[in-house]
């Protein structure tokens, strides 16, 4: 009877161990499946975050590139405008002073305008007179440029550019440090706005 009890105990024990092992294997399998699912979900989320970050970085880079291109066009336009303004201001000021100093030329010019003016419309400068004025101003512009021209401020910002005669044309001269400093002062605010 002892042997039967021992046999029965061994059977119950073995069945319990087998059921426990089966249950443990099932729990481990479920845990592995759940871990794989969590890991796959985390990988998908990480890939999505990386893709979003790459897309955002590309969009920011594109924005900065567009902004830099726009700013460089504006900088070039401001420089051209300042050169034209400086030359025009100096030519007109000197020309008008010279013209007014020659009383005979000034008086004949005023008389010619007065003769043409009928009160109903503004006086008209005849083509011959306009061509003389144009030629006069162009000669003065050439004199000014041949003597060299310095620009120390553009659009309210300090700058240093010079225009010098060179090989029958004119050379715009500026130092790297001056250009870099001027561009930084212009672009910094826009870049901070785009980036942040």
Structure confidence at residue 171 as a pLDDT band (50, 70, 90): confident
Higher pLDDT pick, 110 / 40 = 40
Higher pLDDT pick, 123 / 33 = 33
CA neighbor of 88 nearest in space, from 14, 168, 151, 3? 151
Q: What is the mean pLDDT of residues 120-138?
A: 70
Higher pLDDT pick, 169 / 36 = 36
* pLDDT reading at 170 higher than 80: no
CA–CA separation, 67 and 73 (whole Å): 10
Mean pLDDT, the chain, whole residue set: 77
Structure confidence at residue 190 as a pLDDT band (50, 70, 90): low
pLDDT of residue 55: 92
Instruction: At 68, list the tokens.
Output: 């830099």
pTM of the model: 0.46
Residues above pLDDT 70, as percent of the chain: 72
pLDDT of residue 177: 65
DSSP assignment of 71-94 equals HHHHHHHHHHHHHHHHHHHHHHHH
Digit-coded pLDDT (tens) for 22-60 = 888 899 899 899 989 999 998 999 899 999 989 988 888
pLDDT of residue 32: 92
* pLDDT reading at 21 higher than 70: yes
Q: What is the mean pLDDT of residues 80-106?
A: 75
pLDDT of residue 44: 93
CA neighbor of 96 nearest in space, from 83, 81, 112, 109? 109
Digit-coded pLDDT (tens) for 67-84 = 878 877 877 787 778 777
pLDDT of residue 187: 65
Q: What is the mean pLDDT of residues 144-165?
A: 75
């Amino acid at each position: 009877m002892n042997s039967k009890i021992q046999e029965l105990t061994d059977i119950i024990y073995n069945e319990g161990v087998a059921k426990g092992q089966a249950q443990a294997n099932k729990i481990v399998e479920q845990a592995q499946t759940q871990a794989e699912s969590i890991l796959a979900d985390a990988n998908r989320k990480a890939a999505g975050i990386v893709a979003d970050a790459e897309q955002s970085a590309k969009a920011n880079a594109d924005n900065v590139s567009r902004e830099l291109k726009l700013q460089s066009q504006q900088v070039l336009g401001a420089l051209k405008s300042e050169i034209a303004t400086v030359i025009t201001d100096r030519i007109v000021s000197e020309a008008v002073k010279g013209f007014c100093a020659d009383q005979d030329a000034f008086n004949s010019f005023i008389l010619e305008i007065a003769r043409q003016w009928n009160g109903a419309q503004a006086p008209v400068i005849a083509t011959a007179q306009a061509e003389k004025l144009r030629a006069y101003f162009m000669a003065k512009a050439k004199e000014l440029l041949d003597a060299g021209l310095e620009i120390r401020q553009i659009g309210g910002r300090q700058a240093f550019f010079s225009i010098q005669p060179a090989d029958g044309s004119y050379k715009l001269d500026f130092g790297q440090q001056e250009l870099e400093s001027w561009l930084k002062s212009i672009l910094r605010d826009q870049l901070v706005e785009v980036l942040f």
